[in-house]
Structure 1
Amino acid sequence: MARVLTGVTVRAVRTRATAAAGWPVLVRRLLGRLGLLAGVLAVVFAAVDLLPGSAAKGALGADATPEAVAAKNAELGLDVAWPIRFLRWSAGLVTGDLGVSVNGQSVGELVVAALPETLMIVGAALAITVPTSMALGAWWAVRARRPARRVVDGLTTASIAVPEFVVATLLIVVFALGLDMLPPVTTVTASGALQSADMRVLPVLALAIPQIGWNSRVVHAAVVDHLADPHVVQATLDGIGPRTIAVRHVLPLALPTIATSAATSTGMLVGGAVVVETVFNHPGIGNLLSSAVTAKDAVATTAIVGLTGVLIAVILTAADAVRLAVTGRAS
Structure 2
Amino acid sequence: MAALNHRALALAGHLAVAVARRAVLLVLLLALVFAAVEALPGDAAAAASERGESPADRAARRHLLGLDRPLWERFLDWMTALPSGDLGTSAHGRPVTELLTDPFPNTLLLGGTAFVLTVVLSLGLGCWAAARPGRLTDRIIGHTATAAFAVPEFVVSVLLLLLLSLWTGWLPAVTVTGADGAPATWTMLIMPVLALVIPQTGWNTRIVRGALADQATAPHVEAAFLDGLPTHQVLLRHALPGAVPAVATGIATSTGMLLGGAVVVETLFNYPGVGTVLAGAVAARDTPLVAGVVAGAGALISLVLLAADLLRARVLGARP
TM class by shorter chain equals: 0.7 to 0.9
Q: Give, in whole Å, the separation in 1 of the partners of 2:182 and 2:53.
A: 32
Alpha-carbon spacing, 1:38–1:234, altered in 2? closer, same or farther (3 Å): closer
Aligned mate of 1:204, from 193, 199, 202 = 193
* 1:153 has 2:147 as partner: no
Cross-structure match for 1:194: 183
Match of residue 119 from structure 1: 108
Q: Note the alpha carbon deviations across 1:23-47, whole angstroms, 9 max, x for none.
A: 4344334323322332332232122
TM-score normalized with structure 1 length: 0.82
- Give the length in aligned residue pairs: 318
The counterpart of 2:286, out of the listed 276, 279, 297, is 297
Return the TM-score normalized by structure 2.
0.84
* Number of the residue aligned with 1:5: none
Q: What displacement does 1:291 show?
A: 1.0
Inter-CA distance 106–226: structure 2 relative to 1 (3 Å threshold): same
Q: Distance in 2 between matches of 1:94 and 1:232?
A: 48
Equivalent position to 2:205, from 201, 216, 225: 216
CA contact (8 A) 2:160 2:195 kept: yes
Secondary structure of the residue aligned to 2:129 is helix
Query: In structure 2, how many angstroms separate the alpha carbons of the residues matched to 1:20 and 1:93?
Result: 30
Q: Which of 36, 40, 43 in structure 2 is aligned with 1:51?
A: 40
Deviations 1:210-265 (A, max 9, x none): 22122222322333344445665565556554344444554455456544543443
Q: How big is the shift at 1:176?
A: 2.9
- Please list the CA deviations of residues 53-81 of structure 1 after superposition, one character each: whole Å capped at 9, or x if unmatched: 34234335435454443333222212333
Q: Does 1:76 align with 2:65?
A: yes
1:182 counterpart residue number: 171
Q: 1:146 to 1:288 in 2, by over 3 A?
A: same
- Which has the higher mean CA deviation after the structures are superposed, 62-71 or 319-328? 62-71
Stretch of structure 1 that moved more, 169-178 or 291-300: 169-178
| TM alignment of 1:259-270, pairs within 5 A | 259-270=248-259
Give the CA RMSD over aligned residues: 3.1
Task: Evaluate the alpha carbon distance shift between residue 69 and residue 215 of structure 1 in structure 2; reply closer, same or farther with a 3 A threshold.
Answer: same
2:233 pairs with 1:275? no
> Counterpart in 1 of 2:314?
325
Partner of 1:3: none
In structure 1, runs of 5+ residues without a counterpart are 1-8
Q: Is the 8 A contact 2:177 2:183 kept in 1?
A: yes
Q: Which amino acid aligns with 1:143?
A: R
Q: Say whether the 8 Å CA contact 2:244–2:315 is kept in structure 1.
A: no
Cα distance change of structure 1 residues 230 and 301 upon mapping to structure 2, 3 Å threshold: closer
Question: What is the Cα deviation at residue 159 of structure 1?
Answer: 2.7
117, 121, 124: which is aligned to 1:128?
117
2:101 is paired with a residue whose SS is helix
Structure 2, gaps ≥5 residues long: none
3-state SS in 2 of match to 1:328 = helix
Moved more, 314-323 or 160-169: 160-169
- Paired with 1:158 and 1:30, the residues of 2 have a C-alpha distance of 36
